[in-house]
Amino acid sequence: MSELNAVVTGGAVRIGRAIALRMAVAGWNVCIHYGQSEREAKQTVSELELLGVKATCVPADLNQPVSAAKQVFQHASDKLGAVSCLINNAAIFREGTLASTTELEWDAHFETNVKAPFFLSQEFARQCRKGGSIINLIDWRGTHPVPGHVAYAQTKSALVAQTRLLAQELGPDIRVNGIAPGAILPPPGKGQEVLETRAVRNPLRRVGAADDITRTVMFLLESPFITGEIVHVSGGEHLAAGKSYGA
């Protein structure tokens, strides 16, 4: 069994699950954090174990960031031992304008997308002494904000700042980087066509795949001189923010 232990938040489904499985192939034991997706979390744990690593899962509501962070790291260290990688993947993503955004929506976005990664990083740093890595899943909207998801975009901008700030505070022992995806998976309940309409807006004229993200996670984990970096995995969509490249 490998001694590399990771926590992946929101790791039961979608991009988080793909990251967990790719890390397991590279020998990482994984603690999957989940919110509602208990059945999928247990299924993912079984698949991780089939890859020959240790795996476990833990529920926690990231809308209660401080208690959730303690719960996740208590569970991970009990089941796996000290954790040397934290993937802050879980997030909420809802539409909203200045006019339509309620205080409840604002708070839910900031609790889950900014405060939770912060307090998870705090718990992580308390028990990780050397050679650790935090990877935050951001969004190109975090570096190039555009209207449409006003609370969400601001949380991702805050997560860019958090990444750069913690990279300075946690060096030299822990590296902190971010991945800023573009169109990778349609929001739950929506079809692939939602992304296809965006493909014309990026220079590579196509949507991405979860593999594009997992490849970047592995690149960052294997790049010990990179910290405080935000890697856009967006087909260049951020370069064209607010503009159409046409057909």
Ligand X SMILES: NC(=O)c1ccc[n+]([C@@H]2O[C@H](COP(=O)([O-])OP(=O)(O)OC[C@H]3O[C@@H](n4cnc5c(N)ncnc54)[C@H](OP(=O)(O)O)[C@@H]3O)[C@@H](O)[C@H]2O)c1
Active site residues: 152
Q: Is 9 helix (H, G, I), strand (E, B) or coil?
A: coil
Supply the minimum distance, in Å, between the C-beta of residue 54 and ligand X: 20
Supply the minimum distance, in Å, between the C-beta of residue 82 and ligand X: 23
36 binds ligand X (CB under 6 A): yes
Q: Please list every residue from 120 through 179 that binds ligand X, using CB under 6 A.
A: 137, 139
Distance CA 83, CA 75 (A): 11
Q: Fill in the per-residue mask, 182 to 201: x = in contact with ligand X (CB under 6 A), - = not in contact.
A: -xxx--x-------------
Q: Is 211 helix (H, G, I), strand (E, B) or coil?
A: helix
92 binds ligand X (CB under 6 A): yes
How many residues of this chain interact with ligand X, rule: CB under 6 A?
26
Supply the minimum distance, in Å, between the C-beta of residue 125 and ligand X: 20
Give residue for tokens 């822990």.
Answer: 174
Helix H, strand E, coil C: the string for 89-140 is CCCCCCCECCCCCCHHHHHHHHHHHHHHHHHHHHHHHHHCCCCEEEEEECCH
Distance CA 95, CA 117 (A): 21
Closer to ligand X at the Cβ: 15 or 45?
15
Per CB under 6 A, residues contacting ligand X are 10, 12-16, 34-37, 61-63, 89-93, 112, 137, 139, 181, 183-185, 188
